[in-house]
Structure 1
Amino acid sequence: MALGDADQKLDYPIPAPAALEPPTEWTELRGRCPVAPVTLPSGDTASLLTRYDDVRQVLSDPRFTRHLNAPDAARIAANESGGVFNGALASAMPEETHQQWRRLVGKWFTAKRMTQLRPGIEAMTDRLVDAMLEHGAPADLRSMVGFPLPVWVICDMLGVPEADRDRFAYWSNTLLSLTRYEQDEIDAAQAEFRAYMVGHIATTRENLGEDLISELIATAETHGHVMPDEALLATAQGLLVAGHETTSNMIGKMVGMLLVDRGRWEALVADPSLVRTAVEELLRMDANGGFGIPRYITEDAEVGGTLVPRGTTVVCNLSAANRDERVFPDAHQLDLTRSPNTHLAFGAGGHSCLGQSLARTELQAVLSVLLRRLPTLELAVAPEDLARVEGLVVGGLQELPVRW
């Protein structure tokens, strides 16, 4: 019986043999069962997609919706708040209105603005490296650099005072829980975040600044509208959930992937001009990307030669799709010079990641600073001793012990 047949339903997420390695089942699923029945953490059944073309098709097909609160949609986890995969704004808005909102927010993430942000991101990274050097080796690069930097960037974008940023890190962690936090903790974090942001939005309306919240309010006013608090709340939560933990974890995984084969790190130290293509390849090779993107289908559709009936919840595994041998030559080899690199790390279609330009800017800035400041950086533990974060929607390392 083929892997993925109904009687051989896999538990999902599928365990991996090592923190930075993919589950061995991905290759077989892509080859023999590209639409595979799996059991989610909630106990509900979904269909798992692991091929590049299938994932791209589903993410670009409007029949596959984000309405995961439909009565017959699979629940992702028993304790989910609904805030991660179908936030208040997405579920409350018609698709056309949601796309208008995306265009409005997307105007903030211009290449010009990202270029303007980069010196500040590099300066903050330098400060964090200074603190790590003062701490001394060995140090956990994840907690000392990877974790604080993205929350600092997002809070700066939202106009949040630096003194309140630790609270945002906790809220981000909790709202992304699959199994790590109990329902009452998730509900409390949601309520605390909402209460904080209601106050912050009210204060911002009285005194507009240079941040994203101010710009959204001002843009609405120039068109004779008032930007609703709910839209601003959902924007802030979307940025926090999508932009903090994902980028924070990717910093650790990125450096980890370079250091497990230290020749990769040395190649970048010798030629820092490779940073841009290296970041894209590390995004593609990330085998620990987390849960993936769930979609709910409203009518029968064919995916990968398989009929997927209406009412099915599918899970698009971006990390598995990014290793599809049909699309990427030598897909299992990390090539720091790979170009073009059409990976799906940021999704595809009309709901691809709004903040991907910011994430790329952060990752390139961090890597450039680390290569300049710590050319002798190396792992302080054996690669097999690295451990994955468990129980969160996004994938990451528990810590990244390094020395120099």
Structure 2
Amino acid sequence: MGLPDLAGAAGSEEDLVGRSDSKQGDSGQGAGKQGGGERGAGEQVLSYPLSSRTALGPPQEWQRLRQRCPVARVTLPSGDEASLLTRFEDVKQVLSDPRFGRLLDADDAARISDTESGGVFNDDMAAAIPQTGEAHQRWRRMLTKWFTAKRMAALRPGIEAMAERLIDDMVKRGHPVDLKAGLGFPLPVWVICDLLGVPDADRNRFAHWSDTMLNLTRYQQQEVDAAQAEFVEYMAAHIAAKRAKPGDDLLSELTTAAGPGGYRMSDRELVATGQGLLIAGHETTANMIGKMVAMLLADRRLWERLLADRSLVRSTVEEALRLDANPGLGMPRYIAEEVEVAGTVLPRGTTVMCSMAAANRDETAFDAAEEMMLDRAPNPHLAFGVGPHSCLGQALARTELQAVLEVLLRRLPSLELAVPPEDLRRVEGLVIGGLSEVPVRW
């Protein structure tokens, strides 16, 4: 969930306003490696991602940006500038508009992380998968049939059984225990490795590679390069083994399957697909398990309501996804032509950061947007994106989150946070947001 196709500091309100109610042309909000032209008087460039006072709460700036400056200038961890969108309709428009592409390796596109390569959105492997047009749709169709709701339902008993085993281990160790380390992190890597046909013994390596390749500011370039090189070498050998002796897993099928017109993925595309599945399907869900449980336990009335009515599990998962104030970076997009958004003309070469989390709290799109309503319906949140690059693995993420919540409610009904909610701490320095740990007792 959260990544394409697969999951700072600020000043006063006046500083945040910018000039969003006038068309700016080439001297306006658009920004890339070289910036976006001259800045207007009083316009502040915010450091991105924005900070917040608590681990579960949103940055204070979100509401003011939505109301007063829907296209804001921000500086990314790389030092390059981008334009930040925070309104629901604007984010939905951009993610659905084919003019906003994923060609983040363009010369004038903003780099994301503080490493020389720019991070997972800018690296060579990201460009190995077709990004636009029919080629992208052909690649996507090869994967879509593996992520149907029917297939995910078939995986659910195995996911629940693994959750049971992990909770057994937690109970044996005694409480308090870190729910993220004991359940949230190992479960999704087990699921993804099972999907890719990876042996149990290699799962810890996959978790390390996932963490490192999602770097913003935590790792040095040589560490990122080493992790990527190790992963590519491993996956190349793994794909060759699957081609020689196919199993009952996604990679085995992709090495032999032919799409429309006889299309077959190259080895480079297969490795890139494996990387995309790992970093999108592991880290995002692992962190979301911890955040979802923490949200529910931070207000005990929510947990008690779920215990009384298990039919709310599905809608609760959707509401947790919507209300997640800490999903990480958001979704970057790049335009090769001038485009107008929210009354602002974004010049060619602009990198746009779409904050789905800020958009999901837009009062014009959701009633009582800051409240957690377990029975909210409809709930058209943008946590998985929208349009041609929406998250392919969203059915898998939903299945994992629902399964974990069901098992926790059944096995540990007295579950509670072992620290005050305000003492929870965020993960820093990665593309994906999360909590550093989720201490619980029962």
Same fold (TM over 0.5): yes
Partner of 2:320: 282
Alignment pair present for 1:258 and 2:296: yes
Q: Deviations over 1:110-131 (max 9, x none)?
A: 1111010000000000000000
Map residues 11-30 of structure 1 onto 2, 5 A cutoff: 11-30=47-66
Number of equivalences: 404
Asked whether the equivalents of residues 103 and 131 of structure 2 are also in contact (C-alpha less than 8 Å), the reply is: no
Structure 2 CA distance for partners of 1:195 and 1:290, relative to 1, 3 Å: same
CA root-mean-square deviation? 1.5
Paired letter, 1:269 = L
Q: Is the 8 A contact 2:111 2:122 kept in 1?
A: no
Query: Alpha-carbon deviation of 1:223?
Result: 7.1
Name the CA distance, whole Å, in 2 between partners of 1:157 and 1:87: 24
Equivalent position SS for 1:42: coil
Does the alignment pair 1:330 with 2:368? Answer: yes
1:204-237 alpha-carbon deviations (Å, 9 max, x no partner):
1111111001111232299766532111101100
- 1:156 counterpart residue number: 194
The residue aligned with 1:53 is: 89
Q: Secondary structure in 1 aligned to 2:340?
A: strand
Write the mapping of 1:201-350 to structure 2, written as runs, cut at 5 A. 201-220=239-258, 226-350=264-388
Confirm or deny: 8 A CA contact 1:87 1:238 kept in the other structure. Answer: no
- Cα deviation for residue 377 of structure 1 reads 0.1
Q: Which runs of 4+ in 1 moved over 4 A?
A: 86-90, 221-226
CA contact (8 A) 1:81 1:186 kept: no
Q: Which residue of 1 aligns with 2:112?
A: 76
Q: CA deviation at 1:309?
A: 1.0
CA shift digits 1:267-291 (9 cap, x unpaired): 1111111000000000000000100
In 1, are the aligned partners of 2:102 and 2:131 still within 8 Å (CA)?
A: no
The alpha carbon displacement at 1:88 in A equals 4.5
Instruction: Tell me, in whole angstroms, the C-alpha distance in 2 between the residues paired with 1:222 and 1:63.
Output: 25
Query: How many angstroms does 1:89 deviate by?
Result: 6.0
Contact 1:80 1:177 in 2 (8 A): no
Query: How do 1:87-98 residues align onto structure 2 when only pairs under 5 Å count?
Result: 88=124, 91-92=127-128, 93=130, 95=132, 96-98=134-136
Do residues 184 (structure 1) and 222 (structure 2) align?
yes
Partner deviation per Cα, 1:50-80 (whole Å, 9 max, x = no partner): 0000000010111111111111111112216
**1:353 corresponds to:** 391
Amino acid at match of 2:16: L
Question: Partners in 1 of 2:149 and 2:112 — Cα distance?
Answer: 35
What displacement does 1:91 show? 2.4
Classify 1:208/1:283 alpha carbon distance in 2 versus 1 (closer, same or farther; 3 Å): same
Identity in percent = 66
Q: Please, which moves more after superposition, 84-93 or 94-103?
A: 84-93
Contact 1:2 1:32 in 2 (8 A): no
CA distance in 1, matches of 2:137, 2:123: 15
Relative distance call for 1:230 and 1:273 in structure 2 (3 A) is same
TM-score, structure 2 length as denominator?
0.89
Aligned residue for 2:423? 385
